[in-house]
Amino acid sequence: MPLSEAPRTSPTPAHLHGSHAPLLELRNISKTFPGVKALTNMELTVYPGEVHALMGENGAGKSTLMKILSGAYIADPGGECRIAGEPVAIDGPATARAHGVAVIYQELSLAPNLSVAENIYLGRHLHHRGMVDRAAMARACEATLARLGADFTPQTPVNTLSIAQRQLVEIARAVHFETRILVMDEPTTPLSTRETDRLFALIRQLRAEGMAIIYISHRMAEIDELADRVTVLRDGCFVGTLTREALTQAALVKMMVGRDLSGFYTKTHGETAPGEIMLSVRNMSDGRRVRGCSFDLRAGEVLGLAGLVGAGRTELARLVFGADTRTDGAVFVAGTPLAVGPRQAIDAGIAYLTEDRKLQGLFLDQSVHENINLIVAARDALRGGRLNRASARQRTAAAIRSLGIRVAHPQVNVGALSGGNQQKVMLSRLLETRPRVLILDEPTRGVDIGAKAEIYRLINELARSGVAVLMISSELPEVVGLCDRVLVMREGELAGEVPGCADAAAMQEQIIALATGAGEQKPPVLH
């Protein structure tokens, strides 16, 4: 549903009728790091009883602005912060908390070995006769937890709670200490659909109680669901603020990336028919999550692999690449049998982009330069065991330029980059292996719209050059928009194949039917 057509699920905040003064006003906020201007004259106005979305590409300055608001960073001189109309100099986290500002980050700041009550009072423990008074803290927390509908007690150890419950502890801490401005940074990333629905209900409750909520998200559907207004940043600058009435996806995307992305999901690689069969998979099984999967992938083709979470898509990709042990099955690259193992797969021309770039893909404490050159360093070997460092530097510079990696210097650690730029670094490393087959597992997860568009462009270019691409994605629009055909997995098996066609809605319906078991089609038996 387009943003402009989305129904309101709660009353329009009173401030939209002019009956409330701003709760938070940031004016001319700038922040300079050595060699980098992260924010330039940023502005933000937030009212009580409003969900105010903050959007922009990764690296646009959202996190920097919120760290200034929370006291983690000190803004450059010349800016102004007003809370409830009063000038405030936020010179540290304690000052921010004292003025009713709380931030819930993606990485929750809880002590898992402590109880819920001890975490709510973390850094502000109650004492009695020189000892921490755990009983008093537990009693004081009961009303707050009941108000939020918590299904655990103040004495519950945090390490026994789910991610969603731990997030509720963070919210309880903010509510308990009478937070007026609550910042939520990508809060639904680790949550299931049901947990997300519960979080949204809680956000609406807090909004109705008058709390101002600054909501950071890349997900258009969430902005559609919650936002009263949206402020957009681009390249560290204030672009503008959209009211609910003016909010459309097209307007929002154009503000974020500075250009029209009307052809966002357009497939541009299919001018010629796919070439020879580049990858053949036969009867692939691991004895647990993948059973009897067979398919072919041709040069110049983008083949989608869709299905519900847990259907076995990632497990199948890892078996093909040799990262996991298979109990049965065979893989052929251009007709040649492939020995089992990632090194053998790379040597045969297969590259695999893992879905978990932080844990399985990148070396976060190493530089962009080191990450890009990691696999192909042997190419730079000279006589005597020395390396041709000039060649490596040229490779890094070419990768940064061609993929549009935003980094101040190639020696910056990858861990300091935004999600989209981290993804581009990992892609550039894989492309340096000159693959014939490229397996992409959730290539746009956790990246912003601009980075998505660049990754889509790259996929199209690779397919046009003859690379065979297998793409796993949970986003049906990008599967339908980019893939020549789609294989659908259900409960570890290939449930069927959906050919590409001009009717995107019909394709999505067929994919969902096969993924849920409503479709009866089975893929052809391959020998």
The domain over range 276-349+435-516 is classified in CATH as 3.40.50.300: yes
CA distance 343 to 339: 9
Please state the φ and ψ torsions of residue 395, each to the nearest 5 degrees. Answer: -65, -45
The number of C-alpha atoms within 13 Å of 126 and in the hemisphere containing its C-beta is 13
Q: How many helices (H) and strands (E) does the chain have?
A: 16, 22
Amino acid letter, residue 33: F
Q: Where in the chain is the domain with CATH 3.40.50.300?
A: 24-257, 276-349+435-516
What's the pLDDT score for residue 125?
83
DSSP state for residue 498 in the 8-state scheme: E
SS3 15: helix
- Name which of 252, 253, 246 is nearest 228 in CA terms: 246
State in words which class domain 24-257 has: alpha beta
- Strands (E) across 162-321 are located at 181-185, 212-216, 229-234, 237-243, 277-285, 293-298, 302-307
Interacting residues of 138 by C-beta distance below 8 A, sequence separation 6+: 115, 117, 153, 154, 155
CA distance 210 to 366: 45
Cβ(225)–Cβ(216) below 8 Å: no
The number of C-alpha atoms within 13 Å of 323 and in the hemisphere containing its C-beta is 15
CA distance 214 to 52: 5
- What is the C-alpha R_g of the chain? 25
CA distance 450 to 454: 6
As given in the structure block, the two tokens for residue 25 are: 């006003």
What's the pLDDT score for residue 527?
55
**Would strands 181-185 and 212-216 be described as parallel, antiparallel, or unpaired?**
parallel
Amino acid letter, residue 336: T
The number of C-alpha atoms within 13 Å of 512 and in the hemisphere containing its C-beta is 9
* pTM for this predicted structure: 0.60
Q: E strand or H helix at 333, and its extent?
A: strand 328-333
What's the pLDDT score for residue 196?
84
Amino acid letter, residue 394: Q
DSSP state for residue 195 in the 8-state scheme: H
Q: How many Å is the maximal CA-CA distance in the chain?
A: 81
What's the pLDDT score for residue 8?
39
Sign of torsion over alpha carbons 359, 360, 366, 372: negative
The number of C-alpha atoms within 13 Å of 425 and in the hemisphere containing its C-beta is 30
Residues of the chain with pLDDT under 70: 1-19, 35, 58, 257, 259-265, 271, 358-359, 377-388, 518-527
C-alpha 471 chain-centroid distance? 17
Interacting residues of 525 by C-beta distance below 8 A, sequence separation 6+: 294
